[in-house]
Amino acid sequence: MSLLLDEIALATARLAEAGVPSPRTDAEEIAAFVHGVRRGELHTVKDSEFDALFWEGIARREAREPLQHITGRAYFRYLSLEVGPGVFVPRPETEVVVGWAIDRLREMDVASPTVVDLGTGSGVIALSIAQEVALARVHAVEIDPEAYGWAKRNISELGQGRVTLHPEDLAEALGELDGRVDLVISNPPYIPPGAIPRHPEVRDYDPALALYGSGADGLDQVRAVERTARRLLRPGGFVVVEHADVQGSAVYLIFREENGWRDVRVQQDLTRRDRFVTARFGQE
C-alpha cells in the first residue's frame, strides 16, 4: 500500500471520530484535490510526491468546514462549479427538485422554453437546466452581492451564453417577462427565525441570507416566490419550490386555487421526505 493510501486510512478514522457523515469519501476528495488527480487515480501518487497539505485539509474538515470550501468546488448533477464562503453549497436533495423541472420542460411543446430561477445562489439550478434542456433560455435572479459574485463567475464559465444573471430582488424581478415564462423554480431561504440547523457545515458556514426565511414560519420568501411566479408564468406554466421536509403542508397551502393554481402537489426526495411543491398556473 502506498504512503498516501495509508494516510487516507488514518484520515478517515479522524474524520469519522469528528462525526463527518462520509469520512472515507471526504478524505479521498481532499487527497485528490491536493495532489491534482481524480479519486480513482490516487493509487498512482508516488510516496515521494506525498504532500503534507493533505493534513491541513483534513484538519479543516475535521473542524466541520464544508468539503466544498476546502476544494473550492461542488458537484451537482453533471456540473462542477466554484463555491466558497458567502454562497450556499448546493445539496444532493436539490438534484431531485431540478430533475423534476427538467422533465417537465422536456415534455413541453415549446421550442425554446423560458425559465426563471429565483434566488440562484451559485447559479447551480439555472446552469443545470441550461445544460440539460436544449434551447432553454434561463434567467437567474440573485440580490445578495456575495452570492451574485459566485453566480457571475460560474455562469461566465459554464453558461455558454444561455443563462442571464439579474441583480434583482426575487419579489420584484423581471417585470419585462410577465406572463411569458414557462417555468419558475426556486430554492429560497425557509428556515424559521430562531431555528438552528443541526449540521455544523450548514449552521456555521452557509450564509444566513440563504438559510433563514422571514415571518414566524420562515416562509415569507416562499410567499414572495408564489406572487412572483403568478405574475411571470404564462397560462399552463409550472412553479417548483423547495422547502424543508416538515413544511410540505404549509407550502402546499400557499399555492391557493383562488389565485389560479392547479395540480398543486407536495413532492418527495429520494429519502421519501417531503422536499418541494409543484403547481401549474391557470389553464392552457
145 marked ligand binding residue: no
86 marked ligand binding residue: no
Residues pairing with 81 in the sheet: 74
19 marked ligand binding residue: no
Give residue 231's region: left, alpha or beta (phi > 0; psi -120 to 50): alpha
237 marked ligand binding residue: no
Helix (H) or strand (E) holding 263: strand 261-268
188 marked ligand binding residue: yes
120 marked ligand binding residue: yes
Q: In degrees to the nearest 10, what's the CA dihedral of 95, 159, 114, 77?
A: -10
Strands (E), 66-199: 73-76, 79-82, 114-118, 137-141, 163-166, 181-186
167 marked ligand binding residue: no
User: Do 244 and 258 meet the contact criterion of CB atoms below 8 Å apart?
Assistant: no
Distance between the two ends of the chain, CA-based, in angstroms?
63
| Whole-angstrom distance, CA of residue 282 vs CA of residue 15 | 51
92 marked ligand binding residue: no
238 in active site? no
119 marked ligand binding residue: yes
- Phi and psi of 90, rounded to 5°? -60, 145
Catalytic choice (188, 238, 276, 281): 188
Catalytic choice (54, 113, 154, 187): 187
192 marked ligand binding residue: no
188 in active site? yes
92 in active site? no
Catalytic choice (76, 88, 255, 276): 88
Residues with catalytic roles: 88, 187-188
Q: Which residues are annotated as a binding site for substrate?
A: 187-190
Q: Which residues are annotated as a binding site?
A: 119-123, 142, 187-190
Q: Which residues are annotated as a binding site for S-adenosyl-L-methionine?
A: 119-123, 142, 187
